[in-house]
Amino acid sequence: MAAALVLGLGAAWAVYWNDRVSPEILAARSAGQALAQNGREGLPACISCHGAHGEGNPAAGFPRLAGLHPAYLARQLADYAREVPLTGAHFDQIARDYSKTPRIDLPYSILTPGIRQHAVMSPIARTLKPDEIEALAQYYASLSFVAQPVAADPETLERGEDLVLRGKPEYGVPGCFACHGQNGVGVGAMFPPLAGQPAAYIVEQLNHWQSGARDNDENGLMRAVAEWMTEGDKQAVAAYLANLSYRIEAGEAIRQAAPQ
């Protein structure tokens, strides 16, 4: 009976929230669902890697997308699609008429837009149109998710807990939760949730930060953190985060993104 009551309240809340969502968001969510489930010509269905409900695939290391902030999801797809900058000495001629010189407006940052290099995701993201990126972001942000904690040995979990809470203060490295929120639930569009992500995915991303394959963080924060992490550190943090309980209700990420 208690379970039925919970399901009933959840359904009622979903109806209430859907009534408050704009028609544009609902249309984007519907288009994103069709794209995620069926793909289109030249684009595979997202569910083939990320699960039928955006839950991810822990065994393969594919991340969960369900319940992530829509702006974060949209930015990651855009960064996957961005070409790797040219290397070496390359300069464009500056126009004599300075009113015609291109300007780039950056969002309160000295950084240019970043890139995420990935053998699978980069080619896929480059086929997406801007409205498809927005549709997928809105769809996955609307989904609920419940993590299934993965067991690990006590020593590994103890070391992981120390790192996510305290970091490595001797090197000036903050704990994960200082940015990603208490219990790793995420903070806004800038710091995604870590709880509930597959351990293999967490390790892979830390490796990418270290190698420079991923370079799309504000002010180089994650790169600076990852540089001080040993192989053991990465495994311990990933195991601890995968061991956490985590739950996000349908539409919660979108509610957090909506203007107050």
Mean pLDDT value across the chain = 85
As to burial, measured by CB atoms within 10 angstroms (0-12 exposed, 13-18 middle, 19+ buried), residue 148 is: exposed
Closest CA to 249 of 147, 149, 146, 180: 146
Q: Tell me the two tokens of residue 118.
A: 């990935």
Instruction: Write out the H or E segment, with its range, that includes residue 210.
Output: helix 199-211
Mean pLDDT over residues 22-26, rounded?
94
Task: Quote the crossing angle between the two packed helices 199-211 and 231-242, to the nearest 10°.
Answer: 140
Task: Give CA separation, 141 vs 13, 150, 214, 226, 254, in Å.
Answer: 16, 24, 22, 27, 6
Q: What is the pLDDT of residue 115?
A: 87
Q: Is the pLDDT of residue 85 over 90?
A: no
For the domain 20-85+110-146+248-260, what is the CATH code? Answer: 1.10.760.10
pLDDT digits (tens, 9 = 90+) for 45-82: 999 999 999 999 999 999 999 999 999 999 999 999 99
Phi and psi (nearest 5°) for 57?
-135, 95
* pLDDT at residue 36 greater than cutoff 90: yes
Cα distance between residue 194 and residue 172, in whole Å: 21
Global model pTM greater than 0.85: no
Residue range 153-197, pLDDT digits in tens: 999 999 999 999 999 999 999 999 999 999 999 999 999 999 989
Is-contact 115 79, C-beta < 8 A? yes
Domain spans, the chain: 20-85+110-146+248-260, 148-244
Residue 128 corresponds to which tokens in the numbers above?
């997406």
Pick the CATH number of 148-244 from 3.90.170.10, 3.90.1150.10, 1.10.760.10, 3.40.1410.10: 1.10.760.10
Give ∠ CA 103-104-106 in degrees, rounded to 5: 145
